[in-house]
């Protein structure tokens, strides 16, 4: 499901059979009602074949597999050498989190502060050149903020941009026009720039 060495999720592609996509190729994430252990997310992603497809991913795979933690069957199927690499990833991740580093972070606009976050809090993503706009539902205040960040900020755990663009607008997460609102703000507005240094 997740290849920790290449930072790619594997999904099915109706044309090519298999699609290996990075987190920044996700376009929309929605938690499915019902299952809680694990919670399951429906992911709409942009495939290398040019189409948008839908795939399912468990919250463990979404949030912890990129850290080498709880990679499950995929990592267990690897050779002992790659298992050792995965263990190193896990150890390194645990050490960094213990030292106060966060794998992912964003700037919460309503709270006016950076917050640590996991990919399962990402809601909408839209690419723009080497940048990507990300709508994030804050795990603390539950409000939606839109940040403009590098693709590495999204794809690589512990790669946090020093500063990010922040759309000065609180998004209504549950209204049908939210997606259009998100795109319009992303392409029209001037961004505030905020430092992302986490305390
Ligand atoms: Zn495809
Ligand atoms: Zn918040």
Model pLDDT for residues 115-173, shown as the tens digit of each residue: 999 999 999 999 877 889 999 999 999 999 999 999 999 999 999 999 999 988 877 76
141 Cα: distance to centroid of ligand 1 (angstroms): 36
- Strand pairing report for 113-116 and 105-108: antiparallel
143 Cα: distance to centroid of ligand 2 (angstroms): 6
141 Cα: distance to centroid of ligand 2 (angstroms): 4
Q: Which ligand is nearest to the CA of 106?
A: 2
Q: Which ligand is nearest to the CA of 19?
A: 1
59 Cα: distance to centroid of ligand 2 (angstroms): 21
Q: How far apart are CA 150 and CA 131, in angstroms?
A: 5
Q: Which ligand is nearest to the CA of 121?
A: 2
Which phi and psi angles does 194 have, rounded to 5°? -125, 140
Q: What is the pTM of this model?
A: 0.86
Q: Give percent above pLDDT 70 in the chain.
A: 86
């Amino acid at each position: 499901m997740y290849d920790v060495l290449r930072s790619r999720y594997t999904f099915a592609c109706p044309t090519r059979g298999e699609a290996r996509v990075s987190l920044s190729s996700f376009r929309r994430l929605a938690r499915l009602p019902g299952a809680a252990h694990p919670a399951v997310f429906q992911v709409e992603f942009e495939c290398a074949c040019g189409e948008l497809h839908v795939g399912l991913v468990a919250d463990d795979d979404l949030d912890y597999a990129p850290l080498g933690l709880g990679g499950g069957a995929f990592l267990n199927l690897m050779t002992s050498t790659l298992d050792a690499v995965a263990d190193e990833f896990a150890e390194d991740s645990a050490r960094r989190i213990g030292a106060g580093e966060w794998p992912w972070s964003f700037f919460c606009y309503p709270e006016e502060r950076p917050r640590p976050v996991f990919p399962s809090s990402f809601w909408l993503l839209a690419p723009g050149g080497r940048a990507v706009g990300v709508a994030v539902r804050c795990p603390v205040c539950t409000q939606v903020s839109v940040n403009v960040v590098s693709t590495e900020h999204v794809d690589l755990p512990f790669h946090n941009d020093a500063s990010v663009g922040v759309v000065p607008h609180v998004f209504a997460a549950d209204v049908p026009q939210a997606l259009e609102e998100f795109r319009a703000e992303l392409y029209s507005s001037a961004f505030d720039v905020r430092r992302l240094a986490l305390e």
